[in-house]
């Protein structure tokens, strides 16, 4: 329908961001709308229902194409594999407030600023704004760009000076009102949808619509009992669904309730202060940050003063974070790029201001940056309200399977019409019976069957302390084959213990100073750094902050005090004093004032402070951070020659190592600390030494990782810690076996325009204690198998690989195990790259900096109960990774249960379908009570209890199948259908061959002349009375064929349930499901009673007739033979892995998963992994079209680009190639580098 695109009709929304969508413009057509109304009336509303399910059809039918600028209806389509369509109406905002002549000056000031977004979105002279709202976010029409843009006033293009100049003094009341009208109120409103609306939405679901159709058809045939039962069951199901949705809405409502009911002091442009509800804040407003545990109601940029905030809502860690004001940088760059780690200036919505300190400039002030659902908390709530759909083939296959059943039902319907017409059945009855076939072949309960196992698994997970906000992901957990782990707090203990200290001495390092001896560190630069270089704060007379900082500071036995001394202009808002405590060594220093603090940044991997000893003029800078980062900021002559050796010595033992440095600023009186630039402060430092901390593995780590390894589930570590430490922890935890080799990948780019370089180094285990160090010699490939190696890399290398060696990345990822120094964004990106390789990825972290990765993974498991982890699909109260195998086991059990119940429900429908079609041959069918007993007493109870099996306690080395439409499952269904057909047809034909059979006299079989001596004694019937009853019942279905086929159908349903009730290896054996076993025994006993009981009342009610006992025994033998044959086929053929592997080899069937393809490619390459080598990326200029084409190629991981060719050659599309060291010079000449 979108083939012929009108110019300006199509655009892209959120270009370059997550959630990118295609957008199409349409204009309403009255003529088409009238035709639609006529069509809806003629189809009795079905067309209306169809267009409700398919909004794109609705728009295509009722609207005409037009440009986005002219459109009043917008059609959106996601760009992912789901291609979900959404219809939105274009809305208008009328800014009538600006029409007042008294406000002409304000109108001019608002619209004259050409750099402002307001100038580009307000239509003049109409003073209107055009917008659409998508998932609670407003997108406003940009008149210059001719596209819809996200409604944010403080664009990233503003410089620091722009923000201070334009917004620093606040807004007028009119400006604030206009901005609030355009960008919406500052509220995160969770609407509690009325119950009647939820009910209507549930009922209009295609599943329930089909149920309504089925019930109406059955009621027309007086099949009242089961119709009533189905209505009751559907109502219960709808009630539970509505209750669940309602509860989720209430939880979200309580989460954000306080957000919308705060009072904030706003600064107006005229200097006045006004207390307003937080809902009236608009981007550009300036408000006072008061502290005292104030909860922030918006995202804001701090412009005056400083704050200490608790960002547990954002990071999952209740650690105070220091916020500094936006610097007065007079450069044209956008404020985010000009301030380095810009997040240290942003106060995020939902975080708590623990403390605020004003500078000499007055109050602590912040400019509103984002409001409502565009804030950080708003995005968190949106991620819960609109979760990302998961691509799981089970649900796609279930739909395809339903389509196949519909085709089978159509064939049966045609057959029914032909047979019934030939038998002279009235037309009305023919239509009803033909439609009956559809409701029999496609059971209304079939789609719901998939979710039964999930419901039970969710309850079992709750009992184990694992909570789920997205139950559909439980099935996906059964397919997980790669688990990513954070290190600190996940694999290792949360707390750190100070183990020792190594300080510099001349050109080397001194012997280690161990804290375990109880000795106190003497006064010196290292002591000063430990006492002052931290981000601790004093709250309610209690020190709070990072555990590392707490341990380090407590070791000094000094005390932290508030700076109550007279503040100087060069002091920062959060300056504090540290003084010797009662237990500290006696020193001549009164204390240290921390004048300025540069907080720790994950991107920079360091923090620093500017200090001054009380009573002295000299200023001292102390810095601590990752040792590799610290030494690059130090004077080379101060870095010991043995630095690398010493660092590796401790990191290989799993210690966490922190580097320290300092420098003195002698002319402290002439320096204005507030104007110091971080880059200048953190340069030309003197290296002090290393602080060594011990971080032990959790007791559960090694057993769990071993269990996952035995189950052939790959494990990967993604951490922000040091690479050597991470590698050692991976070794000790068993992620990397001691016999396997480790290859370090170091990617770098010397110049911005120069080639990127990859170095491959072997990290070898030495005999003397297993020290890990880079081996510069050639990697001896003959010493280890090709599969027994692991790649390790840092976040910096990962970024360069993503940018310059993307074609190599898949080959590296299939063998990479440790990723160190990874930022939160890099973690999320890595998860996505694994998913592109067709891995089912799980992520387990403690919530700190892992939130993005937890949401991106197929199954994110947060070990934190903080608000930040709310968006994680799974949250565990078990504070260790023991929850991971529990979740996988339950996922596998739920997945197998879903398959079993789905197959059973499909087979039950087809068994009944076969039986009915056989009886249609004689213009007969099952009676209402026969249907009722089979549907309710047999199938429904089995469907409910079949999934009660608990998960198997051990993880199997093979995953359960993840597709319904797979050869083993299809073969199982087809063979069961074929043998069921044979059983029914054989019984149907054989009963007609019996000597006592007659078409008219249904009592002949049990007359004494036709019975054996054993049968005579059982006949005590009142034949005349029964005949009289039968004569009155014109709709009686009693016949020998009916009785035979019905009894075979009952037993077939029970035996099929037994055959499909899988136990090992993913669930406990069937006999442990006690309720199910009791149900089966009761049902078998009841059916045997039907077969041999000969109760007149029962037979009359169920439309059964008496047959000779020998025939009943014959039927039982047929059932047993069928059962044993199907059980043998299922166990010996369908479930036999050896046969499956043999057939795959014979047919040369190979996995189509991308990571499997990559492994096969790698296996054929003799030079992979590379020997000790260096590779370069070469570049050439390409046009935009070629670049986009190449990007699309890379996104699907073209196998051609995987090939690792050591010979340099130019890529046909101009993208980067890899060349070996010896060919680099020639390659550079070719490319003009």
Residues designated catalytic: 486
Determine if the peptide bond prior to 120 is cis (ω within 30°). Answer: no
Q: How far is CA 693 from CA 395, 487, 749, in A?
A: 49, 15, 32
Rg (CA), the chain: 37
Cβ proximity of 887 and 457 under 8 Å:
no
The total of other beta-carbon atoms located within 10 Å of residue 327's CB is 19
Strands (DSSP E) along 684-799, which ranges?
A: 686-694, 714-718, 741-749, 756-765, 772-775, 789-794
Cβ proximity of 920 and 420 under 8 Å:
yes
Both tokens assigned to 715: 């494990």
User: Which residues on neighbouring strands pair with residue 367, listed in sequence order?
Assistant: 286, 301
Q: Using CB atoms within 10 A of its CB, is residue 680 exposed (0-12), middle (13-18) or buried (19+)?
A: exposed
Alpha-carbon span 63 to 73, nearest angstrom: 8
The total of other beta-carbon atoms located within 10 Å of residue 1030's CB is 16
Strands (DSSP E) along 79-184, which ranges?
A: 85-89, 91-94, 128-134, 137-142, 147-150
Alpha-carbon span 974 to 112, nearest angstrom: 73
Among 983, 985, 968, 986, residue whose Cα is nearest residue 1129:
968
Both tokens assigned to 843: 């992520």
Alpha-carbon span 365 to 356, nearest angstrom: 10
The total of other beta-carbon atoms located within 10 Å of residue 11's CB is 18
User: Which residues on neighbouring strands pair with residue 513, listed in sequence order?
Assistant: 501
Among 749, 750, 748, 730, residue whose Cα is nearest residue 740:
730
CA 1213 to chain centre: 34
| DSSP result, 508-556 | EEPPPEEGGG-PPPPSSHHHHHHHHSS--EEETTEEES-HHHHHHHHHH
User: Which residues on neighbouring strands pair with residue 347, listed in sequence order?
Assistant: 300
Both tokens assigned to 157: 């293009």
Buried b (16+ CB within 10 A) or exposed e, 776-805: eeebebeeeeeeebbbbbbbbbbbbbeebb
Alpha helices, DSSP H only, in 266-326? Answer: 312-315
User: Which residues on neighbouring strands pair with residue 559, listed in sequence order?
Assistant: 579
Cβ proximity of 555 and 563 under 8 Å:
no
Q: Output the CA angle 884-885-890, nearest 5 degrees.
A: 100
Among 425, 429, 482, 474, residue whose Cα is nearest residue 454:
474
């Amino acid at each position: 329908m979108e083939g012929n695109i009108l110019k300006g009709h199509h655009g892209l929304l959120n270009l370059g961001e997550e959630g990118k969508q295609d957008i199409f413009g349409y204009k309403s057509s009255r003529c088409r709308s009238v035709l639609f109304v006529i069509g809806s009336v003629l189809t009795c509303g079905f067309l209306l229902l169809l267009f409700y399910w398919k909004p794109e059809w609705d728009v295509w039918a009722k609207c005409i194409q037009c440009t986005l600028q002219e459109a009043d209806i917008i059609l959106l389509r996601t760009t992912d594999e789901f291609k979900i369509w959404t219809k939105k109406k274009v809305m208008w905002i009328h800014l009538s407030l600006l029409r007042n002549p008294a406000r002409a000056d304000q109108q001019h000031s608002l619209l004259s600023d050409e750099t402002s977004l307001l100038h580009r979105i307000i239509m003049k002279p109409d003073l209107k704004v055009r917008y659409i709202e998508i998932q609670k976010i407003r997108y406003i029409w940009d008149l210059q760009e001719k596209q819809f843009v996200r409604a944010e006033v403080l664009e990233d293009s503003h410089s620091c000076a722009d923000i201070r100049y334009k917004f620093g003094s606040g807004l007028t009341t009119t400006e604030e009102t206009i901005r609030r009208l355009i960008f919406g109120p500052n509220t995160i409103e969770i609407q509690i949808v009325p119950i009647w609306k939820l009910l209507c939405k549930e009922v209009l679901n295609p599943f329930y619509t089909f149920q309504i159709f089925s019930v109406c058809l059955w009621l027309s045939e007086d099949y009242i009992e089961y119709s009533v039962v189905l209505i009751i069951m559907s109502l219960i199901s709808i009630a539970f669904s509505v209750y669940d949705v309602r509860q989720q809405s209430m939880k979200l409502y309580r989460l954000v309730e306080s957000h919308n009911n705060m009072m904030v002091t706003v600064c107006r442009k005229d200097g006045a202060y006004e207390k307003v509800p937080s809902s009236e804040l608009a981007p550009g407003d300036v408000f006072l940050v008061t502290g005292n545990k104030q909860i922030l109601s918006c995202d804001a940029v701090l412009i005056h003063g400083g704050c200490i905030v608790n960002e547990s809502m954002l990071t999952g860690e209740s650690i105070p974070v220091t916020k500094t004001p936006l610097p007065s940088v007079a450069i044209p760059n956008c404020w985010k790029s000009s301030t380095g780690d810009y997040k240290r200036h942003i106060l995020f919505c939902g975080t708590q201001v623990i403390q605020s300190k004003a500078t000499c400039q007055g109050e602590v002030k912040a400019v509103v940056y984002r409001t409502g659902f565009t804030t950080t908390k708003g995005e968190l709530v949106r991620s819960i309200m609109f979760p990302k759909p998961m691509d799981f083939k089970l649900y796609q296959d279930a739909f395809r399977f339903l389509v196949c059943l519909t085709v089978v039902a159509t064939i049966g319907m045609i057959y029914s019409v032909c047979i019934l017409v030939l038998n002279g059945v009235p037309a009305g009855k023919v239509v009803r019976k033909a439609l009956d076939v559809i409701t029999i072949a496609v059971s209304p309960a079939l789609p719901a069957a998939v979710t039964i196992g999930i419901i039970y698994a969710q309850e079992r997970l709750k009992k184990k302390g694992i909570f789920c906000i997205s139950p559909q992901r439980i099935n996906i957990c059964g397919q997980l084959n790669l688990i990513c782990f954070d290190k600190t707090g996940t694999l290792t203990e949360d707390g750190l213990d100070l183990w020792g200290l190594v300080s510099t001495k001349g050109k080397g390092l001194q012997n280690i100073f161990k804290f375990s001896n109880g000795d106190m560190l003497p006064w010196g630069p290292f002591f000063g750094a430990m006492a002052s270089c931290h981000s601790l704060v004093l709250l309610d007379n209690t020190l709070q902050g990072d555990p590392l900082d707490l341990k380090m500071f407590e070791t000094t036995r000094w005390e932290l005090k508030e700076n109550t001394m007279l503040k100087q202009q060069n002091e920062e808002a959060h300056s504090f004093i540290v003084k010797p405590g009662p237990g500290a060594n006696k020193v001549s220093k009164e204390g240290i004032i921390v004048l300025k603090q540069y907080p720790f940044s994950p991107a920079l991997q360091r923090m620093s402070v500017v200090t001054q000893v009380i009573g002295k003029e000299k200023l001292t800078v102390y810095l601590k951070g990752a040792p590799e980062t610290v030494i690059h900021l130090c004077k080379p002559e101060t870095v010991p020659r043995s630095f690398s050796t010493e660092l590796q010595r401790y990191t290989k033992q799993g210690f966490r190592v922190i580097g320290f440095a300092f420098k003195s600023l002698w002319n402290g009186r002439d320096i204005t600390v507030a104007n110091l630039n971080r880059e200048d402060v953190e340069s030309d430092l003197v290296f002090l030494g290393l602080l060594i901390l011990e971080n032990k593995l959790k007791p559960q780590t090694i057993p769990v990782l071993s269990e996952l390894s035995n189950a052939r589930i790959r494990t990967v570590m993604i951490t922000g810690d040091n690479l050597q430490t991470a590698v050692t922890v991976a070794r000790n935890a068993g992620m990397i076996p001691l016999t396997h080799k480790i290859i370090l990948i170091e990617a770098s780019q010397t110049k911005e325009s120069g080639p990127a370089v990859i170095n491959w180094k072997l990290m070898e285990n030495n005999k003397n204690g297993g020290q890990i160090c880079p081996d510069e010699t050639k990697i001896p490939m003959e010493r280890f198998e090709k599969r027994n190696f692991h790649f390790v890399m840092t976040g910096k290398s990962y970024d360069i690989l993503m940018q310059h060696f993307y074609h190599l990345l898949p080959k590296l990822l299939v063998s990479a195990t440790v990723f160190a120094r990874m930022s939160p964004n890099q973690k999320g990106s890595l998860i996505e790259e694994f998913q592109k390789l067709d891995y089912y990825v799980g992520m387990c972290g403690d919530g700190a900096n892992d939130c993005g990765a937890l949401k991106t993974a197929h199954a994110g498991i947060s070990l934190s109960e903080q608000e930040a982890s709310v968006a994680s699909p799974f949250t565990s109260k078990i504070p260790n990774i023991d929850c991971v195998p529990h979740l996988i086991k339950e996922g596998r059990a739920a997945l197998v249960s879903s398959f079993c119940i789905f197959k059973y429900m499909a087979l039950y429908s087809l068994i009944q379908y076969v039986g009915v079609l056989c009886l249609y041959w004689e213009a007969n069918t099952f009676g209402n009570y026969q249907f009722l007993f089979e549907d309710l007493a047999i199938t429904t109870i089995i469907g409910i209890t079949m999934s009660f099996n608990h998960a198997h306690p051990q993880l199997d080395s093979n995953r359960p199948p993840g597709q319904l439409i797979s050869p083993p499952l299809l073969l199982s269904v087809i063979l069961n259908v074929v043998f069921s057909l044979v059983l029914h047809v054989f019984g149907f034909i054989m009963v007609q061959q019996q000597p006592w059979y007659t078409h008219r006299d249904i009592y002949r079989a049990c007359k004494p002349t036709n019975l054996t001596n054993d049968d005579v004694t059982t006949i005590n019937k009142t034949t005349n009375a029964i005949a009289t009853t039968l004569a009155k019942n014109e709709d009686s279905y009693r016949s020998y064929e009916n009785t035979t086929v019905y009894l075979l159908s009952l037993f077939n349903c029970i035996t099929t349930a037994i055959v499909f009730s899988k136990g090992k290896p993913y669930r406990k054996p069937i006999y442990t499901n006690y309720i199910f076993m009791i149900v089966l025994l009761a049902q078998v006993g009841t059916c045997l009673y039907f077969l041999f009981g000969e109760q007149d009342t029962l037979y009359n009610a169920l439309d059964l007739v008496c047959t000779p006992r020998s025939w009943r025994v014959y039927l039982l033998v047929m059932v047993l033979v069928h059962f044993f044959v199907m059980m043998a086929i299922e166990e010996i053929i369908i479930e036999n892995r050896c046969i499956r592997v043999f057939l795959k080899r014979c047919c040369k069937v190979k996995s189509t998963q991308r990571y499997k393809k990559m492994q096969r490619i790698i296996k054929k390459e003799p030079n992979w992994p590379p020997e000790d080598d260096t590779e370069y990326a070469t570049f050439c200029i390409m046009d935009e079209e070629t670049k986009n084409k190449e990007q699309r190629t890379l996104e699907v991981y073209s196998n051609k680009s995987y090939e690792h060719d050591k010979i340099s050659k130019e890529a046909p599309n101009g993208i980067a190639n890899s060349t070996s060291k010896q060919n680099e010079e020639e390659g550079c000449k070719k490319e003009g580098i």
